[in-house]
Amino acid sequence: MVRLPNPLRLTILYIGLALARLGVIDRERAIQTTALAWPRIVTGIARMSKNAVDVAMVGVAVGTSAVAGVGFAGPFWGLAFAIGGGVAGGTIALVSQRFGAEAYDELGVAIRSSTLLVVVISLPVTAVFWLVPHELISLLSSNERAIDYGATYLRIVALGIPFAGLNLVGSRALVGADDSYTAMQVRAGGALANIVLSAAFIFGLDLGVAGAAYGTVLSNVAVTATFALGIGAGRLPGIGAFPIQVDPFGTYLDPETLRDIITIGLPVGGRNLVWTVAEFPMLGILDLFGENTVAAFVIARRIWGIMNTPGWGFGLASSSLVGQALGQNDERTAKAYGRDIIRFSVATYVISAILIAIFAEQIVVLFADDPTSPEIPIAVNLVYAACFAVVFQGVAGAAAGPLDASGDTQVPFASQFIGMFLVSIPLAYLGATTALGYWGLYLAFLAETSVPAAINYWRFRTDKWKTISETYRPDVAASDD
């Protein structure tokens, strides 16, 4: 498989090599981290750009109320990634350690068990969203037009929830097996297909928010089919060889493996759920500011999502490389990877935040049919706040990587919960109800990243995650002691 030069890969590599020349990180670890991180970052940019383009197309085709409606439906759709991400957190921890120890039979059991778990958990959620979407959206707003748009979007997109969860499992399995490039090809291709489908449905068939939902569902189905065929066969035409091959007819119901996935993945899912659940009260608070502020916040969060994509790559690279080192009982190397990736991540976030801040106004106006819309200046200021706050996400996400790889997932969950529910949301509420005003929203952005950054980094420095990892290491590694 030929891997063409990629500008993003080269940019990240140059940042890493510059840090290595300054003696901040190790040169070889910078190269290995880049190799794993950049495809995941590309995947993140493609997916977050897809979300941003969906909102922009809906805004241009339908208007502000539709943007707010899609925003109200967003956290419900986010449950798919909380569910899938939780299970996939267990998947990457088990797969990376077993891949490092060359325990391939156990690796296959981990992937099949993860698949079963995602389907069992996600189907009831799909049913609820399909049956009562209007009632659910009504919990967040009294704006009838926005509620109608949001309910239409949610009912359709609910059908894609199981597939979105399975996509995360497939992606994490490949990353844990030291191949984020193939995962990028599949998921980034799905994101691009989503944009094309949504554009065709929204503008070509004049389906509005329903068109955006149809595009999302169909693209997720296609990505799931691609992962299933590739991992089952060990290769796929047009993509090439996969790093692993798993018999699809093997054991799915392995109690010990399921228990490990749940033990590791539950706090990871809880951490993802914090982001999702927090959006419900946050959107309710924003509704107090008015429809324009809701739309501005939705726009800013889509841009935030793109800014946050370096963390996707560095966090998963850390989980994979640290997990493989732990699978080989090399704790010293595991910590060295964790430390260097944190530094590498922060430097990359600083550069991306500066670039977004410079072009904030030009980016925001792409989300509205009228550049003089009242939500535009609100969104621009929120983006500026996000550019400052997102740098701390570089610490929070990268420091969580070693904790996830070791199975020490409870602390990142707790840090995210504290940052969102005990600090960020109260600040937003004060902004809506006191003279603090929009400063409450700016400080809320900062709190949701700085608090987890401080707690996760502290936990990484304690080294307790090394001891916890011994519980989850494969039998092959354990027997080497």
204-230 tens-digit pLDDT: 787 778 888 888 889 889 999 998 888
Torsion of CA 210, 212, 217, 218, to 10 degrees: 110
Residues found in the chain: 481
Residue 228 in tokens: 């299933």
Is the distance from CB of 209 to CB of 155 less than 8 angstroms? no
Specify whether the backbone of 242 is left (phi greater than 0), alpha (psi in -120 to 50) or beta: beta
* Residues whose CB is less than 8 angstroms from the CB of residue 307 and which lie 6 or more positions away in sequence, other chains included: 349, 352, 353, 356, 386, 387, 390
Which neighbouring-strand residues pair with 236? 240
Cα–Cα distance for residue pair 357/388, rounded to 1 Å: 9
* Helical residues (DSSP H) of 177-254, grouped into ranges: 180-199, 209-233
Strand, helix or coil for residue 325: helix
Residue 4 pLDDT > 60, yes or no? Answer: no
Is the distance from CB of 369 to CB of 59 less than 8 angstroms? yes
Angle between helices 438-462 and 425-433 (to 10 degrees): 170
What's the pLDDT band for 315 if we cut at 50, 70, 90? confident
Query: What's this model's pTM, rounded to 2 decimal places?
Result: 0.68
Residue 323 in tokens: 């997990």
Strand, helix or coil for residue 236: strand
The residue among 164, 161, 136 whose CA lies nearest residue 151 is 136
Residue 189 pLDDT > 50, yes or no? Answer: yes
Question: pLDDT tens for residues 47-91?
Answer: 666 666 666 677 666 666 777 777 777 778 777 667 777 777 777
Residue 250 pLDDT > 80, yes or no? Answer: no
Tell me which H or E stretch contains 12. helix 7-21
Residue extents of the structural domains in the chain: 7-474
Average pLDDT of the segment spanning 258-285? 77
